Structure 1
Amino acid sequence: MSNDNDNPRNALLREDGALTRLVRSNRLLFGLVFFGLLSAISVTASFFIRFVVLGPFLITNLDQWQTWWLAMLGVTVPVRMIFFWLIGLHKTSWRFASVEDLPPLVGAVMSSSALIIVALWVFWDKPGGFPLSTLAIDMVLCLGLVTIGRFAYRLLSGPSDKLGNTEPRKRAIVVGAGNAGALTIEAMQSPRLGAFRPVALVDDNVHAQGVRIRGVEVMGTIDQIKDVARRRRAEVIVLAIPSATTAALYRILNHCQETKLPIKSVPSFWEIMESEKPGIRRVEDFSTTSLLQRRPVSGDVGVIREMLRGRRVLVTGAAGSIGSELCRQVVENGAAYLACLDKDENGLFRIEQELRDRERPTAFDFLLGDIKNPQRLERFFAVARPDIVFHAAAYKHVPILQFHPEEAVLNNVFGTRQLADMALRHGVQRFVMISTDKSVNPTNVMGATKQVAEKVILTRQNQDDGATSFSIIRFGNVLGSAGSVVELFHKQIKKGGPVTVTHPDMERFFMTIAEAVQLVLFAAAMGRGGDVFILDMGASVKIDDLARQMIRLSGLTPDVDVGITYTGLRPGEKLFEELWAEGEEPAPTENPGIMVARRQAIDVAEVESGAGRLVEAAMLGRRDDIWTELLALVPDFSGLTGQDAETPPEVPAPEGPREDSVNRAAETPNNLP
């Protein structure tokens, strides 16, 4: 189970391949032979020191000297091997030797030496002037050699933090006997995690059973954790398996939850490696994000820095979940200037405070406005003069947009078209649109409008001689976004339930926001124009399973402490999302987390005229025309039509075209920055 050793970035402690596996499988034999050899060396060296170095040389008969030496070897080596076996010295981990291993080691050497002295005195009735000081020298030498032998591998493997206070507080079982498990125990035996006392390890590796790491024994496998917790009177479980797969975590959690103990975890492996001081410095409550977290994004971040360094960047939807993370990573990767555009005043204020606190050399503008307002956009582009535009502004909530298709069209289609045209007019080098898996074979207005927006972007690629590179990046749900299912479940569990699940078979793709945004930046750097990139979302997750695990992580029992209610599919929802449409045939890229879809033929004139009619229908509030144009532009749209929609509150049509009202509202004050 100690799969954190598989990570290619693991440079903390590295195993020695086939030799290490051979030693592990024959640990008893190798251990006893090695320590027996050290004991023989100490006996021989003690004779040399006593009779040659210290003198005087008392032996006149070489046969007598040889007799004494062989007698000492014949008694000392077997006795010491027995004592080393009794204290389990061969079971302790060489890589993670610690001062906690010293007391039994000192006791074994001293006890065996005392027994040897008694044995020689009682059973060898003619010592013939043999000095017992030789045995004292042997004891000191043996203790030194065995200690050096135990710590040599660890010292050669690299430095570790200075050990500190080991005062126990909560008795902890550590899950995982790999590198992360060893580092976790080390941290618990220092002031960093002094609130925990490690009392046992569990690991599914058969060769790890019985091994001690820094004095803590591997006492069983994962499925035995309940019994181990009872025997060791554990108070908390700490998961030290930061690179375990989601499937493995589900299995591990099922066993851990049988103990009814709180479950904590170490940070993700890449957080450990990328921190200023690598190592385990905290444990945190095991969260849903931890459950769904995947291996780190691979790829050379240098290509991202090369794309952004010294550039002027505009991010729309900058106050949202994806947009705000884009802003953070753009700043961290060396952009010279960042313009954050959003119509959410409070959200824009929050991201402004956060970014200014980072004390980076990036210059900022925080622009309050709506992407549907062409005159404001013109002023914003004139101020920002962006080289790169990341378009993350969009309406995303499926049930709401299903009943307000006008707003979905105006924001997701008209706003996107406005931005793309501004990018062409102002000589933007790269334009990157954030899309969604709901645009594939859409069953709702939100997905259909995002597919139209994708087509609008693709029609812009060859305009103005292709000076602007347009790319689309499509992915599924992100963890931690506002209004996400995870956020909803947390609130419902906190209130005592019930947790509302749409359907027991519903599945969704999930990805952390930080991972999604880093992949967006990788894809943007790869874009050559007209590309549709698809992020590898991994395996889909059953929402019902997610809800039940979240309830268990809260220390409660599903269907007992917190009920689960199935509400049924809402208008526009489907059981399974798809990341690409039939015929797109995604191909791999140089980054394993990103695929590129095969380009589809786009009838530019048809898309332009259809999108124009769609926007006009939305501005005039002609809902039937909206459905008609959506179905014409998106042939795979299987959403509700105007005739069979569950009728929402009627929205009266404005007296004139919405564009006029938008323009009237676009009067720009002269003091715009």
Structure 2
Amino acid sequence: MRTRTIGLLNRRYLPRWAVLMLDVLICLASFVLAYLILDGTPLKFQNVWPTPLRALFILGINVFFFYIFRTYAGIVRHSTFTDVFRVAAASFFTAITVVTYNTTYYFFQGEKIFLTTAVILYMFFSFTLMLFFRIAVKEAYQYIRRMNTAKIKKRVLIVGMDNQTINLGRALTSESDQAFQLIGFISDDNSTKRLNVLGKPVFLTSIKKDSKEFSSLLEKHRIDGVLMVRDSLSVAETNEIVEACLANKIQVFNMPSVENWNQKQDLQTQIKHIEIEDLLDRYPIEIDSAIIKNDLEHKTILVTGGAGSIGSEIVRQLSLFNPRKIVVLDNAESALYEMELYLENNFPDLKFASVLADVRNIDRLEMIFATYKFDIVFHAAAYKHVPIIEKNPYEAVGVNISGTINLANLAVQHGIDKFVMISTDKAVNPTNVMGASKRAAEMYVQSLQEKIGTHTRFITTRFGNVLGSNGSVIPHFRKQIEAGGPVTVTHKDIIRYFMTIPEACQLVLQAGTMGKGGEIFIFDMGKPVRILDMAERMIKLSGFQPYKDIDIKITGLRPGEKLYEELLSETAESLPTFHSKIMVSKVPTEDFYKVSEKIQAIVKATNQNKKTEVVLKIKELVPEYISQNSEYQFLDIQHQN
């Protein structure tokens, strides 16, 4: 029954010809009605034309104006004032035309065809009945739609009793087309006992995984889901609620706080399933905006890799600090174009330039530096995917090492004040080519800082995985779940640190204000997360059971992959800064000329098309680089022997 009703609602079951025919029948009925009413009065019909001919004539005129005003063009169930106006115009001009013809005939022949009163009555009845027909269809459709929607709405409870949740409840109850039916509120505050809010009960219960009272409440009221205002709850509270809901096999929905509602979107699109990102043990990052603004305001800034995950967020955050100009440099044409459109739409007053270029092309970079005269460079351009780079070490050298050298040298030549490089925790005791190439880049800028005559301040920021970045694990798992599985995890014990993209970029900007030159700043990444646990939880949040509805397969560590990442090497020490989330790593600095000589050997090896030789030269520069799960492990064995 539900399928049939939905089908009826979704199809245009009154095509144009049917609307036209119904209107003609209404007009015919109106003519008959006018005739019957006047037949018993002293007013007498003219006998020049027989009654059927008069009916055919007036209906023909009416159909002509139906065509002129396209009264049949709209969908009846969605009739608007415009549709009503068209019907009124068709009726009015029909009457005017008939009366005009009637008067003209009388002028030439001395007698009338139509009774003027009959024409006016016909116009009144035809318009009224056609209007009533449209209103009746529209109201019937809305009634069926409301009845059908009520059957398929999710029955939800709102967690908490405060202004935020009451406003959310009011929005749900006042908009009939929502996909949610509010059953009531849940509170553990005794003062709310026996309260009714917005005509809905407040249930006094504690939401816990093993709470029989909560389970009984869900079963009694046939609850499909729980809705919460995430911003008003701590991570621990959110996790507790989610665990209880998953244990009872109901869905969990998330809504932003009232002040963060997007007024351009309807409420329903802003209510979303709770995501794994909301459950990770993250805490708000506090930054000193005044110091950052003083550092960035009225500056011309280059962001390399500016269309990538990290680079684009750096650009967004820089845009808030009134820079003179931002130059967004990237070699990905489509992504750069999307970034350009985003900035035009969201920062109309921002002065920026989109530059399609490759950091490996020194001649192109020289032209760009000469044109824009940068004050600050944020270097986020890099190849970062471990398995791909493990197979293609030449590209790691070209982008991660040579690209960084090109930019760093130009920064010194052009007297740029500050160069902030985005590095990675994979550069610490690297086990893969990607991490080793980033460590090589770190070593170069650190040694360049110590070179006599270097006035540019080189600052390196190092952090772990960022949530939601291109190619990261969470979007990958999400796609696998949507495809029905299996979800693939490389090792049952693998763990990772996670940080959101905005968090990481906020700390990059803050660290940029601290640097005196030559430092490596590391970020507090919070608690590490077991990837298998994350996969299981994501499956549950999607409404499935791990290993039953969607399988999880352990595929084995990928080439160069570690079980866990480190933020500090054994030879480094960390010192606190004024920001609790940022530490500075004291890493020994190598001699510039020795580093440069070894890097030249690496670059030379790439020109010989011998990737093993390339990796060997990288290992000579970065002695702590020990390959794991990699084809290059034999190089370490040879070195040990």
User: What TM-score, normalized to structure 1?
Assistant: 0.66
Q: Does the Cα contact within 8 Å between 1:392 and 1:434 map onto a contact in 2?
A: yes
Counterpart residue number, 1:87: none
Find the partner of 1:175 among 159, 163, 185: 159
After TM superposition, the structure 1 = structure 2 runs for residues 37-76 of structure 1, keeping only pairs within 5 Å, are: none
Find the partner of 2:223 among 227, 230, 234: 234
Counterpart residue number, 1:222: 207
What is the CA deviation profile of residues 363-394 of structure 1, one whole-angstrom value per residue up to 9, with x for unaligned ones? 22211111011101101111221111010000
- Going from structure 1 to structure 2, the CA distance change for 1:425 and 1:644 (only over 3 Å counts) comes to closer
The DSSP-based 3-state class of the residue aligned with 2:157 is strand
The DSSP-based 3-state class of the residue aligned with 1:460 is helix
Mapped partners of 2:206, 2:242: distance in 1: 13
- Going from structure 1 to structure 2, the CA distance change for 1:275 and 1:293 (only over 3 Å counts) comes to farther
Output the amino acid matched with 1:543: I
Deviation at 1:429, TM superposition (A): 0.9
The DSSP-based 3-state class of the residue aligned with 1:491 is helix
Output the amino acid matched with 1:363: K
Deviation at 1:235, TM superposition (A): 2.9
Counterpart residue number, 1:78: none
Deviation at 1:309, TM superposition (A): 1.2
Q: State yes or no: 1:628 paired with 2:608.
A: no
Deviation at 1:290, TM superposition (A): 2.2
Q: Does the Cα contact within 8 Å between 1:200 and 1:219 map onto a contact in 2?
A: no
Q: State yes or no: 1:257 paired with 2:270.
A: no
Aligned pair count reads 476
Mapped partners of 1:514, 1:419: distance in 2: 25
Mapped partners of 2:263, 2:493: distance in 1: 43
The DSSP-based 3-state class of the residue aligned with 1:457 is helix
Q: State yes or no: 1:292 paired with 2:292.
A: no
- Going from structure 1 to structure 2, the CA distance change for 1:319 and 1:548 (only over 3 Å counts) comes to same
% same residue: 39
- Going from structure 1 to structure 2, the CA distance change for 1:213 and 1:482 (only over 3 Å counts) comes to farther
Q: Does the Cα contact within 8 Å between 2:615 and 2:632 map onto a contact in 1?
A: no
Counterpart residue number, 1:449: 437
Deviation at 1:198, TM superposition (A): 4.1
Mapped partners of 2:632, 2:504: distance in 1: 37
- Going from structure 1 to structure 2, the CA distance change for 1:211 and 1:503 (only over 3 Å counts) comes to farther
Mapped partners of 1:642, 1:571: distance in 2: 5
Counterpart residue number, 2:271: 283
Q: Does the Cα contact within 8 Å between 2:207 and 2:240 map onto a contact in 1?
A: no
Mapped partners of 1:273, 1:350: distance in 2: 25
Q: Does the Cα contact within 8 Å between 1:292 and 1:511 map onto a contact in 2?
A: no
Deviation at 1:524, TM superposition (A): 1.0
User: What TM-score, normalized to structure 2?
Assistant: 0.69
What is the CA deviation profile of residues 486-524 of structure 1, one whole-angstrom value per residue up to 9, with x for unaligned ones? 111111111111111101111111111112111111111
The DSSP-based 3-state class of the residue aligned with 1:353 is helix
Mapped partners of 1:339, 1:331: distance in 2: 11
Mapped partners of 2:305, 2:341: distance in 1: 16
Q: Does the Cα contact within 8 Å between 1:173 and 1:229 map onto a contact in 2?
A: no
Deviation at 1:193, TM superposition (A): 10
Q: Does the Cα contact within 8 Å between 2:498 and 2:525 map onto a contact in 1?
A: yes
After TM superposition, the structure 1 = structure 2 runs for residues 128-147 of structure 1, keeping only pairs within 5 Å, are: none
- Going from structure 1 to structure 2, the CA distance change for 1:206 and 1:481 (only over 3 Å counts) comes to same
Mapped partners of 1:461, 1:276: distance in 2: 49
Output the amino acid matched with 1:611: I
Output the amino acid matched with 1:256: C
Mapped partners of 1:192, 1:389: distance in 2: 52
Q: State yes or no: 1:485 paired with 2:468.
A: no
Counterpart residue number, 1:506: 494
What is the CA deviation profile of residues 93-114 of structure 1, one whole-angstrom value per residue up to 9, with x for unaligned ones? xxxxxxxxxxxxxxxxxxxxxx
- Going from structure 1 to structure 2, the CA distance change for 1:533 and 1:507 (only over 3 Å counts) comes to same
Counterpart residue number, 2:16: none
Output the amino acid matched with 2:225: V
Counterpart residue number, 1:559: 547
Unpaired segments of 5 or more residues in structure 2? Answer: 1-148, 636-641
Q: Does the Cα contact within 8 Å between 1:314 and 1:339 map onto a contact in 2?
A: yes
Counterpart residue number, 1:541: 529
Mapped partners of 1:550, 1:208: distance in 2: 36
Mapped partners of 1:597, 1:186: distance in 2: 52
The DSSP-based 3-state class of the residue aligned with 2:423 is strand
Find the partner of 2:356 among 345, 353, 368: 368
Mapped partners of 1:300, 1:213: distance in 2: 44
Unpaired segments of 5 or more residues in structure 1? Answer: 1-166, 648-673
The DSSP-based 3-state class of the residue aligned with 1:579 is coil
Counterpart residue number, 2:384: 396
The DSSP-based 3-state class of the residue aligned with 2:573 is coil
After TM superposition, the structure 1 = structure 2 runs for residues 86-101 of structure 1, keeping only pairs within 5 Å, are: none
| Greater displacement, 578-587 / 504-513 | 578-587
Mapped partners of 2:476, 2:630: distance in 1: 30
Output the amino acid matched with 1:468: T
Mapped partners of 2:261, 2:250: distance in 1: 30
Mapped partners of 2:585, 2:491: distance in 1: 30
Find the partner of 2:367 among 379, 402, 425: 379
Q: State yes or no: 1:308 paired with 2:299.
A: no
